Structure 1
Amino acid sequence: MKRSNRIVWIGAIALGVIILLTLIAAPNNSKINNGSTYNRAPNGYGAWYAFMQQQGTTIERWQKPFSNLKTEKSPVTLLQIYSTLREPVLDNQERKWVEQGNTLVILGASRQVTAADFSTMQQSPFGDVKIETRRRDRKAKQQQVSLGDRFGAVVWEEKYDKGKAIFSTTRYLAANAYQDNLSNFQYLANLVTNKNKFVFVDEYIHGYKDADIRQSEGQGDLFSYFAKTPVLPILVQVGVLLLVLIWAQNRRFGKSVALDTPVVDNSQAYIQALAGVLQKAESSDFVLEMVGKEEQLQLQKALGLGQIPLERQTLLNRWVEKTGASAAELEAVLKLQSRKRRMSERELLSWLGKWQIVRRQL
């Protein structure tokens, strides 16, 4: 494969890995839609919103900051269905707005878990309302409780001058999952339409914004959108990678020189690897036995005695007859080999040296 093609392939693989990691590590914003009227899932409120429209209720999605409500004529009701539980305490801005005669309905008030059953049917003027939470407010007074039991309040209200705030410990009071419990839909409808007020459903807290709001918050252009998604980091990474590839393609100091691939001697490589294993295992007895047998066979072949292992005395007699040398040298290496004991590295090298002396005398 050419160098340029190799760089392109490496770059493509690296880019794929970067994109995959970016998408996996990207934050998951699906939870923000819990309670949204745009959400058709069981935890959404799309069915209840359609129910309210069919009833002829004056209802509208609010996709602006809470501070913009002051421009609306009072009294109105704002329904906030939180994706995560919030404390049932109004801040200064909310309190002032409620005191003007408006109603703030908050579904998803954080209260302590009690010993109540998770799923209960709470009595209301519209029939039994299905409640699935163990959270109860124990501080609410009896006259404030709209739904509750002996463990505390599930839905309660608090007065603020001309207006009031209504809290619910469950976020799913009339979620899509309760379409078969019409009492839930009717009960929430009564909470928000009391005294025929205009009803807003807060979608701003779920991330939905009107075009003018997005523009004022610097989210009107494409770059601003990309800046809040995983797409922008991907584009930056692609740009950096392209610059690296361009630099690599144009970095030339002369003609490319192909490197010679060394020829690998598989037999030698195998022998070296096996020797390394035997050395670590301190298996000198195995080396002594195997090398000794091979040396003896090579000696027999040189003496014209064939490849069948012979008795030591027969080999010694033939050695003396053929070389005229003393049998003591050969007998020493054969005797050491027959002991089959572990040897130190120095002893093993000495033994191999003696075999070299024997071979030279042939």
Structure 2
Amino acid sequence: MKRSNRLAWMGAIALAAIVLLTLLVAPNNTKISTGSTFNRASDGYGAWYAFMQQKGISIKRWQKPFSDIQAENSPVTFLQVSAYPRETTLDNQEREWVEKGNTLVILGAGARVTEAEFSTMQKSPQGEIKIDTRRRYQKANSKQVDLGDRFGAVVWEKNYNKGKVIFSTTPYLAANAYQDYLSNFKYLASLVTEKGNTVLVDEYIHGYKDADVRKKESEGDLSSFFAKTPLFPILIQLGILLLVLTWAQNRRFGKPVALETPVADNSEAYIQALAGVLQKADSTDFVVEMVGKQEQLQLQKALGLGQVLLERQALINFWKEKTGTSAAELDAVLKLQSHKQPISERELLSWLGKWRSIREIRNS
């Protein structure tokens, strides 16, 4: 296989290996924007956020870690739309914050899948709420359930001292996909504005961060990015690439092709060497003599005249008799070789050309 084709195959295999490895090892961040108010897709909350602003409700996007909310003096309602089902238990930091009188609203809480219909309409003071999930929370008592059916709760709340947590089994309670169901938008608005608290929407969990946060977390430049990049996937990719390169340098892609041993032509090599020597010695007369004899013998053989060199005139007469053509060129070549004097290279080439013409006439 040609080297260019081998390199092409090598590059294609290396690229395919890197792409495959990237797909297998790289973290799946395709759902990180689910629930974000910056997201205009069907699973985003951009339409609901605009709805809240049009209603004149004070709402802000929060692009900092949860721990930074601790500095707030007034009660806060903090809305989190989780891209993945999260536990219904709080960590110590969240629990302490809620117990101070704040409200945490979690859309996308973990719950088991039941036999409920996937699409249902749940009754509420704001109207019928469209719910698309079979997940139901079955450990809440009737006082805690805000939306639900016989299979369990869809939306429920749990008190923690002065504050409370509101859970929803669906993260799409008021997503962009439900713009035709205004009651869904109103219902979520009622949940977050129930106590008249400052409303914050968590965008930090969707990857949006304030400039000071990015700087604090050392994500502002390329060097810090590489410093935080996991080395294991990179090392695996480099290892596969090195293996492919090593294999390509030592093996062909395809059946091995045996090299043909060139056949040495001693006669041709001798003739070329002798021609080089004669050319340097300017011995054209020797070339004319030797070549002329061989050409004349071949001509006599073709005319049936034997292997003894004839006189020039005798050969000319036989040529005319046998071929019926002019013997001018034959006479010219025979005269030149009988002079036995050095000639120029141009004259030598002309002389050889005339012998070629004679052979063509002879063979025709």
| 1:129 and 1:184 in contact (8 A); partners too | yes
Structure 1's 153 and 12: CA in aligned 2 closer, same or farther, altered over 3 A?
closer
Is 2:260 the counterpart of 1:262? yes
Aligned equivalents of 2:21, 2:71: Cα separation in 1: 42
Q: Report the Cα distance in structure 2 between the residues aligned to 1:91 and 1:113, rounded to whole angstroms.
A: 24
Amino acid at match of 2:154: V
Q: Distance in 2 between matches of 1:115 and 1:14?
A: 48
Asked whether the 8 Å contact 1:132–1:170 carries over to 2, the reply is yes
Q: Distance in 2 between matches of 1:137 and 1:114?
A: 9
3-state SS, counterpart of residue 68 of structure 1: helix
Structure 1 CA distance for aligned equivalents of residues 76 and 65 of structure 2? 15
Correspondence list, 1:299-318, <5 A: none
Q: Could you tell me how far 1:153 is from its partner in structure 2?
A: 1.6
State yes or no: 1:29 paired with 2:29. Answer: yes
Counterpart for residue 192 of structure 1: 192
Q: Which whole-Å deviations, capped at 9, do the CAs of 1:252-281 have from their partners, x for residues lacking one?
A: xxxxxxxx93159xxxxxxxxxxxxxxxxx
Deviation digits for residues 129-169 of structure 1 (CA, Å, limit 9, x no counterpart): 00111222222222222111222221111111111110111
Return closer, same or farther for 1:165/1:12 CA change in 2, 3 Å cut-off. Answer: same
- Gaps of at least 5 residues in structure 2 are 250-257, 263-364
Match of 1:39 in 2: 39
Given that 1:74 and 1:101 are in contact with CA atoms closer than 8 Å, whether structure 2 keeps it comes out as no
Question: How many angstroms does 1:10 deviate by?
Answer: 7.1
Counterpart Cα distance in 2 of 1:13 and 1:162: 63
Larger Rg over CA atoms: 2
In structure 2, relative to structure 1, the CA distance for the partners of 1:11 and 1:100 (3 Å cut) is same
CA distance in 1, matches of 2:9, 2:201: 52
User: Which residue in the other structure is 2:58 paired with?
Assistant: 58
2:104 is matched with which residue?
A: 104
Question: Which 5+ residue runs of structure 1 have no aligned equivalent?
Answer: 249-259, 265-362
Q: Given the superposition, is the C-alpha separation of residues 21 and 189 from structure 1 closer, same or farther in structure 2, using an over 3 Å criterion?
A: same
SS at match of 1:189: helix
The question of whether the paired residues in 2 share the 8 Å contact of 1:59 and 1:198 is answered with yes
Q: Which residue of 2 aligns with 1:20?
A: 19
**Which string of whole-angstrom CA distances, capped at 9 and with x for unpartnered residues, describes residues 203-228 of structure 1?**
11222222222222221211233566
Structure 1 residues 9, 169: CA separation in 2 closer, same or farther (over 3 Å shift)? closer
Equivalent residue number for residue 69 of structure 1:
69
1:154 aligns with 2:163: no
Secondary structure of 1:32's counterpart equals: coil
Shift of 1:23: 4.4
Give the whole-Å Cα distance in 2 for the aligned partners of 1:17 and 1:60.
45
Separation in structure 1 between the aligned mates of residue 42 and residue 130 of structure 2, nearest angstrom: 15
* Alignment partner, residue 207 of structure 1: 207
CA drift of 1:98 comes to 0.7
Cα distance between partner residues in 2 of 1:114 and 1:20 = 39
Match runs of 1:1-362 below 5 Å: 12-13=11-12, 16-17=15-16, 19-25=18-24, 26-226=26-226, 233=234, 261-262=259-260
> How far 1:63 sits from its partner (Å)?
1.5
User: What's the TM-score once normalised by structure 1's chain length?
Assistant: 0.60
The number of residues matched between the two structures is 247
Which whole-Å CA distance do the structure 2 matches of 1:84 and 1:104 have between them?
Answer: 17
**What is the rounded CA distance, in whole Å, between the counterparts of 1:151 and 1:18 in structure 2?**
48
Shift of 1:20: 3.2
Q: Deviations over 1:272-294 (max 9, x none)?
A: xxxxxxxxxxxxxxxxxxxxxxx
- Cα 1:112/1:15, change in 2 over 3 Å: closer
Please give the alpha-carbon distance, in whole angstroms, between the structure 2 residues aligned to 1:146 and 1:176.
Answer: 22
Alignment TM-score, normalising by the size of structure 2: 0.60
State percent identity of aligned pairs. 61
The whole-number CA distance in structure 2 between the counterparts of 1:2 and 1:173 is: 61
187-196 vs 146-155, which deviates more?
146-155
SS in 1 for 2:195: helix
Give 1:101's aligned amino acid.
G
Report how far residue 22 of structure 1 moved: 4.8
RMSD: 3.3
Flag the 1:99–1:10 CA change in 2: closer, same or farther, 3 A. same
2: distance between equivalents of 1:133 and 1:17?
38
CA distance in 2 between counterparts of 1:224 and 1:123 reads 51
Paired residues of 1:23 and 1:230 also in contact (CA < 8 A): no
Alpha-carbon distance in structure 2 between the residues aligned to 1:144 and 1:113:
20
Cα gap change, 1:2 to 1:160, in 2 (>3 Å):
closer
For residues 151 and 116 of structure 2, the distance between their equivalents in structure 1, rounded to whole angstroms, comes to: 6
Shift of residue 28 of structure 1? Answer: 2.6
Q: Distance in 2 between matches of 1:95 and 1:113?
A: 27
Q: Secondary structure at the match of 1:83?
A: strand
Name the CA distance, whole Å, in 1 between partners of 2:134 and 2:2: 67
CA distance in 2, matches of 1:206, 1:34: 8
